Amino acid sequence: MSLLRVLGRPMLASMFVAGGLDSVRNPQNVAPAAESVVKPVTDRVAVLPDRTEDAVRLSGAVQVVGGLLLATGRLSRPAALALAVTLVPTTLAAHRFWEEEDPGQRMQQRIHFLKNLSMLGGLLIAADDTGAAPSLLWRSRHAAHDLRRDAHLVRRSVRAGAAPAAAAGRVRAKLSR
């Protein structure tokens, strides 16, 4: 694993571990802001908890686990995707800069919104990062190519061996008469 990955993944994950722990411990701090996003999502996804505080706790737990997995490089691609999924509603709930009246608050919320958007971009890159190992798609394509090449070589060797064997069989047949 490259030094950039070893350093970059924990740096990207740190915000999720810290924020997720806070959401698990104190969901009441963000529940009022999250209500506007949690309600429409829980109406559409039946497996999510109906109470906003429970949904915030669940999102925080996913962020902690996903952050730790991303930081350690274990299952980092699915972890990055899980973190990205939790980041979208978090951003939409907490940083609604377009609703702010105060110009100072609007600017602060816009900065946080763009920061989260940047983190989302980093997570999408991390979700696509194979860690310098070939992806499963690449491996399957090359395995299929290698199989076709091997089959072609076998076919050529069978054909090359069949002609002399047939000639030897004809000679043996003439000699045995």
Other Cβ atoms closer than 10 A to 97? 15
Examine the pLDDT at 18 and tell me if it is beyond 90.
yes
Q: Kindly state the average pLDDT of the residues 114-128.
A: 90
Higher pLDDT, 57 or 131: 57
pLDDT digits (tens, 9 = 90+) for 130-164: 776 677 777 788 888 888 998 888 888 888 888 88
Mean pLDDT of 155-177: 83
pLDDT given for residue 30 in this prediction: 85
Question: What Cα–Cα distance (Å) separates residue 141 from each residue in 96, 99, 127?
Answer: 45, 49, 21
Q: How far is CA 71 from the centre of its chain?
A: 14
d(CA 175, CA 3): 73
Q: Which two tokens stand for residue 18?
A: 């810290």
What is the percent of the chain where pLDDT is above 90?
26
Phi-psi region of 135 (alpha: psi -120 to 50; beta: other; left: phi over 0): beta
pLDDT at position 125 over 80? yes
